[in-house]
Amino acid sequence: MTTTLTKPSVEIATAADRLFDAARSGIPCAPVRDLIMDGDVAAAYAVQTINTKRALENGRRLVGRKIGLTSLAVQKQLGVNQPDYGMLFADMARSDAEEIVLSEIMQPKVEAEIAFVLGRDLTDDQLTLADLQRAIDFALPSIEIVGSRISNWDIKITDTIADNASSGLYVLGSRPRKLGDFDLRLCGMVMEKAGEPVSVGAGAACLGNPLNAALWLAKTMARAGYPLKTGDTILSGALGPMVTVSPGDVFNVRINDLGSVRAAFLRN
Q: CATH number of the domain at 224, please.
A: 3.90.850.10
Task: Tell whether the model's pLDDT for residue 253 goes beyond 90.
Answer: yes
Judge whether 45 lies within some domain: no
Judge whether 53 lies within some domain: no
Provide the 8-state DSSP code for 183: -
Judge whether 68 lies within some domain: yes
What does the alpha-carbon distance between residue 18 and residue 163 come to, in Å, rounded to a whole number?
10
Judge whether 55 lies within some domain: no
Task: Tell whether the model's pLDDT for residue 256 goes beyond 60.
Answer: yes
Q: What is the pLDDT of residue 2?
A: 38
Amino acid (one-letter) located at 166? S
Q: How confident is the model at residue 22 (pLDDT cuts 50, 70, 90)?
A: very high
Contact status, residue 109 vs residue 146, Cβ threshold 8 Å: yes
pLDDT, average across residues 58-83: 86
Question: Which residue in 267, 268, 266 sits closest to 100, CA to CA?
Answer: 266
Amino acid (one-letter) located at 218? A
| CA-CA-CA-CA dihedral for 23, 25, 29, 34, to nearest 10 | -70
- pLDDT, tens digit (0-9, with 9 covering 90-100), for 166-218: 999 999 999 999 999 999 999 999 999 999 999 999 999 999 999 999 999 99
Q: How confident is the model at residue 77 (pLDDT cuts 50, 70, 90)?
A: low
Q: What is the pLDDT of residue 5?
A: 46
pLDDT, average across residues 48-67: 97
> Based on the structure, what is the number of domains in the chain?
1
Judge whether 97 lies within some domain: yes
Amino acid (one-letter) located at 80? V
Which domain does 184 fall in, by range?
Answer: 62-265
Q: Which residues contact 244 (CB under 8 A, 6 or more apart)?
A: 108, 109
State the average pLDDT for the chain: 93
* 3-state DSSP assignment of residue 250: strand
pLDDT, average across residues 227-245: 96
What does the alpha-carbon distance between residue 210 and residue 257 come to, in Å, rounded to a whole number?
15
Contact status, residue 138 vs residue 183, Cβ threshold 8 Å: no
- pLDDT, tens digit (0-9, with 9 covering 90-100), for 123-178: 999 999 999 999 999 999 999 999 999 999 999 999 999 999 999 999 999 999 99
CA 217 to chain centre: 11
Q: What is the pLDDT of residue 3?
A: 40
What does the alpha-carbon distance between residue 234 and residue 261 come to, in Å, rounded to a whole number?
16
Judge whether 54 lies within some domain: no
Task: Tell whether the model's pLDDT for residue 1 goes beyond 50.
Answer: no
Burial 239-249 (b: 16+ CB within 10 A, else e): bbbbbebeeeb
Task: Tell whether the model's pLDDT for residue 85 goes beyond 90.
Answer: yes
CB atoms within 10 A of CB 210: 27
Q: What is the pLDDT of residue 221?
A: 97
Judge whether 137 lies within some domain: yes
* 3-state DSSP assignment of residue 131: helix
* 3-state DSSP assignment of residue 165: helix
